[in-house]
Chain A
Amino acid sequence: MSGPSTYEPKTGFTKWLDSRLPIVRLGWDSFVDFPTPRNLNYWYTFGGILTVCLMIQIITGIVLAMHYVPHIDHAFASVQRIDRDVNYGWLIRSIHAVGASMFFLAVYMHIFRGLYYGSYKAPRELLWILGVVIYLLMMAAAFLGYVLPWGQMSYWGAMVITNLLGAFPIIGGPITEWLWGGFSVGNATLNRFFSLHYLIPFLIAGVVGLHIWALHVPGNNNPTGIEVKSSRDTLPFHPYYTSKDGFGIALFMVIFAFFVFFWPDALGHSDNFIPADPLVTPALIVPEWYLLPFYAILRAVPDKLGGVLLMFGAIGILFVLPWLDTSKVRSMRYRPLARWFFGFFVLACLGLGWAGAELPDTPVPGLGAIGVDFLLMGRVLTVYYFAYFLVILPILGFVEKPSPRPASIEESVLGNTSRPAPAAVPAE
């Protein structure tokens, strides 16, 4: 969709600039005149919301780094000092901590939207893969950042996650010591985690640039999954989608602000208000809510290495998804079977999150009578998680009969009245 540029510099300065550094042209073609499908719904505003989330995290993070001390003797106190003594520190730290959760909330919406409308399919495979890379970097940044306050959950979360790498035979031991810079999680670990936590958001920003570049070559997917065929299918990005994204961002900020001002610690864990103690492990160690499904997958396997491999596999499988889904129809709006399996997949992810938050031996409410505990529930849902990608999507493409699709994006929005129907059936 990236056709010839429509930018025309008018003043002497912009002409001078355009022939030397066409940066205004780039902005114009990417965010003003960029042709965007006219039928994008609110699920498509999360890209813009995520950009705002990243900017918020970087700005608040840079400010927090001015007051935070990455040393095991001072880290916990310095975070308390930010909350109590630093001017507006309570606000900025709250925005940063809540912002991490909001970032993940938005990214999950964005990912599920991509899964439902088939945004990962050709010609957008690389766009999808870059997105998974961003998601991985986000998880790394979130984990590293959670360690910095040096509370009990910080310390033991770091302990458990770094020990995961010890599961690998032979190289596991040396790699964990290399990561710790000592014989255990300690001051060297905290120091380097701070350094890397500061680095990763800028890596994310770089990959986001690639992500948007890869988006602007084929152009946006849309809820019908049908390619743009003529200019009647599109609208210029500005003002149509700048205003729609803007409205979505404003609504999202209402939820964001609610948590920041009225419920700032609701998404954290109370044990993290206890300073880190290497001698005592909290009774229940849980990661932040956005990592719970993977934690449940880790625990579903009785073998240490097997659990670690399966957990990494749960993310790794997303990289090859574009080649696992065999259906020629992109959007699940026209896939009567796939949309059911997708619905169950969303429920499975939520269920895994629930299972990850509870002790494995605890009976599931309502199902305890028939002997279902959270370990069993986690196992069943883990099987479905992988089956969705490895069995259901590959087979559905062959057995499913898609429902009729509109001839064009324009027709799906305006009906078939504006012009004679095109004779050809859309080839996807």
Chain B
Amino acid sequence: MTEAMENNGAHGEKPSRRDFIYIATGGALAVGGAFTIWPFIDQMNPAADTLALASTEVNIGELEEGQEITVIYRERPHFVRRRTAAEVEAARNVDVASLPDRDARNFNLGDGVPATDENRSAMTAAVADGVEIEDALRASMLVTSANCTHLGCVPTEGAGDYGAWFCPCHGSHYDTSGRIRRGPAPENLSVPIMTFTSASVLRLG
């Protein structure tokens, strides 16, 4: 090996044909290797039929005040809650600056929006053309992911220090706006994209 390197040095100030072939082969192997590995990595990502699970329609017409249902949207459970006036009032009376997570985490609004209750409730949902719906109903509706932002457990309804959700796994408390208030969870429960397609149907996604 050493001898070969010395020979190289003695012969070539400029790179030889063999050096070029050597480097070209190595380069082709590296690039080709990366191209070959990629399909084997990417096959584990969500498949096309999984990605096609676009939307879920929820009938909210029969929801009573204070009632909550859990629906599956994109494989994940989501809380759909028609809150009482007192619950909305409690959520609105919170100073955003005092929250552990001040971002609304609302996919209808994008990043960097303050986590006021108005920015998290169905006030932010789109309304399809020609649909009439009361502001009070939109303000009372709250739809959030039902997976705790800590490690994904489903929080229990009507428990915890804030009377809304409490995660039994590691003790995270959420308020009536689905915002994290106490415990290890880092973020508020996220709000999915939603549209009122009629006065009683809310479409997620």
Contacts and interface: CB of A to CB of B under 8 A. Distances in A.
A281 B153 contact: yes
B44 A361 contact: no
A183 B170 contact: no
B184 A160 contact: no
Nearest to B185: A304
B168 A183 contact: no
A236 interface: no
B5 interface: no
B152 A159 contact: yes
B75 A160 contact: no
A156 interface: yes
Interface in B147-166: 147, 150-156
Contacts of B186: 304
A285 interface: yes
A303 B186 CA distance: 8
Interface centre among B147, B151, B154, B156 (most CB of A within 10 A): B151
A86 interface: no
Interface string A168-208: 00000000011111111010100010000000000000000
A361 B168 CA distance: 11
A30 interface: no
B168 A280 contact: no
Interface centre among A177, A179, A279, A281 (most CB of B within 10 A): A281
B46 A279 contact: no
Interface string A279-311: 111111100000000000001001110010000
A280 B154 contact: yes
Contact of A279 (B77, B167, B168, B171): B77
A304 B148 CA distance: 12
Nearest to B154: A281
B193 interface: no
B189 to A, nearest CB: 14
B171 A160 contact: no
Contacts of B50: 181-183, 188
Contacts of A302: 184
A279 B70 CA distance: 7
B77 A160 contact: no
A164 interface: yes
A313 interface: no
A359 B38 CA distance: 43
A130 B47 CA distance: 36
A188 B53 CA distance: 14
Contact of B170 (A162, A180, A181, A299): A299
Contacts of B147: 159, 184
Contact of A283 (B150, B168, B170): B168
A412 interface: no
A284 B168 contact: yes
Contacts of B154: 278-281
B183 to A, nearest CB: 8
B152 A163 contact: yes
Contacts of A268: none
B153 A181 contact: no
A87 to B, nearest CB: 36
A358 to B, nearest CB: 13
B151 A164 contact: yes
A160 B167 CA distance: 12
A192 B75 contact: no
Contact of B76 (A160, A183, A188): A183
Given A159-B152, A178-B45, A186 B169 contact: no
A183 B46 CA distance: 8
A361 B173 CA distance: 14
Contacts of B53: 183
B44 A285 contact: no
Given A360-B170, A361-B171, A183 B75 contact: yes
Contacts of B41: 178
Contacts of B91: none
A182 B150 contact: no
7 contacts: A159-B152, A181-B44, A182-B46, A183-B50, A183-B75, A281-B156, A283-B168
Given A159-B147, A192-B44, A304-B151, 17 more contacts: A159-B152, A162-B152, A163-B150, A177-B45, A177-B46, A178-B41, A180-B46, A184-B75, A186-B75, A188-B47, A188-B50, A279-B70, A279-B72, A280-B154, A281-B155, A281-B168, A361-B171
Nearest first, the 8 closest Cβ-Cβ pairs linking A and B are: A163-B152, A281-B153, A163-B151, A160-B151, A184-B75, A159-B152, A183-B75, A281-B154
